[in-house]
Amino acid sequence: MNQLVVQKYGGTSVGSIERIKKVAARIARMRKSGLDIVVVVSAMGGETDKLLDMARQINPDPKRREVDLLLSSGERVSSALLSMALDNIGCPSVSMTGRQIGLITDSSHTRARIKEIDTERAKRVLKKKHVIVVAGFQGINEHGDVTTLGRGGSDTSAVALAVALKAERCEIYTDVDGVYTADPNVVPDARKMDRVSYDEMLEMASLGAQVLQFRCVEFCRKYHMPLIVKSSLLDESTGTLICEEDSSMEQAVVSGVMSDKNQAKITIKGVPDQPGIASKIFTGIANASLSIDMIIQNVSEEGLTDISFTLPKEDMDEAIKIVKKLGEVIKAREISADSDICKVSIVGAGMRSNSGVAAKMFEALSGENINIAMISTSEIRVSCIVDEKYAELAVRVLHDTFHVSTEQGEAELNNGAQSA
């Protein structure tokens, strides 16, 4: 039995006839080297947006069942075309839709969850030494209706198939070379990481690193599936390996610096400082399925207190509506909102064994006169809300402060190097 690898190619990687041929050549090469391969493809770049745009022109609020049928067609096209390209260069292959690969989901259209994968047919095809080309992003529910898996859905398909088929690893091919210590457009000396732990990657994914979805990394961590992110455009891309933390890994104090401008802050001022008030507010928000990120409650004065919280920008208007209604009930003095904010974060597994990291971060930001509005931390992360206009500056300063570009963060921190 050969080693099995699941590979996923994103929309850019299969965005044109030429690129589909290039992807086919890469797969055929790997197949020749003795691997069994299951490929998962996204829709050709731009197709999903084109389809969504048509849908919205026809119906501003289309039924989600029909949206799923509509969008799923994009991945079917690219899987058929890639299979043809493989056949054309003598690499036998079979395309499979979500249904054919046995991907069964619940019925939450446009954001379905995988319930099980029936791998029987896939295993039969692999035995025949055929490459399987799977239409990503889609499955079917118990009624036989097409469902889609939401944002990053093709990554989810790939990872779930890798686990179900007991693959050696899952490779995500995209238009970037791997996971970077910071956005290279913002930080010129940002460095591609060779390895990063699941925990760090989870933090980065939830902080706005676009390269991988949280859900996909979470799934890999749960099932100990090694995940590689690499470029389909560069032949020599070594990518980034996301795997278990191990002692041989160089534990940088700070592995990455991220910023996320898709944040808004709502502040409720002059709330009676009584038990049950915060609960009322956040139950109301949760009932609308809005997810809140940070919360702070100021020290109370004269029996009144201020509560602030952040959430994704697109949910701001709905949250304000809810809070205004609640504000009347709880007698809040004032409700304000601010969408010109940004969350800047540092992530690193090495923080666990290093103290003073947060303090150093605050010092670096204050050295640039960047005011910190809110703070939240986890075991391996520190995030600050700052004015949106400082987003890039803050990332550069922090990247520099923690020497993220040199893989020497840990040593230098202990030596007391201070750069900001």
The answer to whether 169 and 240 have CB atoms below 8 angstroms apart is no
Q: Does 312 bind a second copy (CB under 8 A)?
A: no
Q: Does 123 bind a second copy (CB under 8 A)?
A: no
Q: Does 99 bind a second copy (CB under 8 A)?
A: yes
Nearer to a second copy among residue 70 and residue 212 (C-beta) = 70
Among 90, 144, 275, 416, binds a second copy (CB under 8 A): 144
Nearer to a second copy among residue 97 and residue 310 (C-beta) = 97
CB of 126 to a second copy, least distance (A): 16
What H or E segment, with its residue span, contains residue 339? strand 334-347
Tokens encoding 404: 């993220």
Closest CA to 255 of 242, 273, 236: 242
Nearer to a second copy among residue 38 and residue 227 (C-beta) = 38
The number of residues that bind a second copy (CB under 8 A) is: 38
Q: What is the DSSP string of 170-201?
A: EEEEESSSS-BSS-TTT-TT--B-SEEEHHHH
CB of 406 to a second copy, least distance (A): 45
| Cα 354 from Cα 285, distance rounded (Å) | 36
Q: Please, which of residues 40-69 interact with a second copy by CB under 8 A? A: 51, 54-55, 57-60, 62-63, 65-67, 69
Part in contact with a second copy (CB under 8 A); list of ranges 94-102, 158-166, 363-371, 384-392: 94-102
CB of 129 to a second copy, least distance (A): 16
Q: What is the DSSP string of 190-235?
A: --B-SEEEHHHHHHHHHTT-TTS-HHHHHHHHHTT--EEEEESS-T
Q: Does 87 bind a second copy (CB under 8 A)?
A: yes
CB of 89 to a second copy, least distance (A): 9
Among 37, 38, 81, 161, binds a second copy (CB under 8 A): 81
21: three-class secondary structure by DSSP = helix
Q: Does 25 bind a second copy (CB under 8 A)?
A: no
Among 5, 37, 40, 70, binds a second copy (CB under 8 A): 70
| Cα 292 from Cα 323, distance rounded (Å) | 13
Sheet holding 103-105, edge to edge: 114-117, 103-105, 138-140, 146-148
| Cα 362 from Cα 183, distance rounded (Å) | 21
Among 73, 377, 405, 408, binds a second copy (CB under 8 A): 73
CA 219 to chain centre: 12
CB of 171 to a second copy, least distance (A): 22
CB of 83 to a second copy, least distance (A): 5
| Cα 420 from Cα 418, distance rounded (Å) | 6
Q: Does 157 bind a second copy (CB under 8 A)?
A: no
Among 85, 252, 294, 323, binds a second copy (CB under 8 A): 85
| Cα 353 from Cα 251, distance rounded (Å) | 9
CA 118 to chain centre: 26
List contacts with a second copy (CB under 8 A).
17, 20-21, 51, 54-55, 57-60, 62-63, 65-67, 69-70, 72-74, 76-77, 79-81, 83-85, 87-88, 94-95, 97, 99-100, 144-146
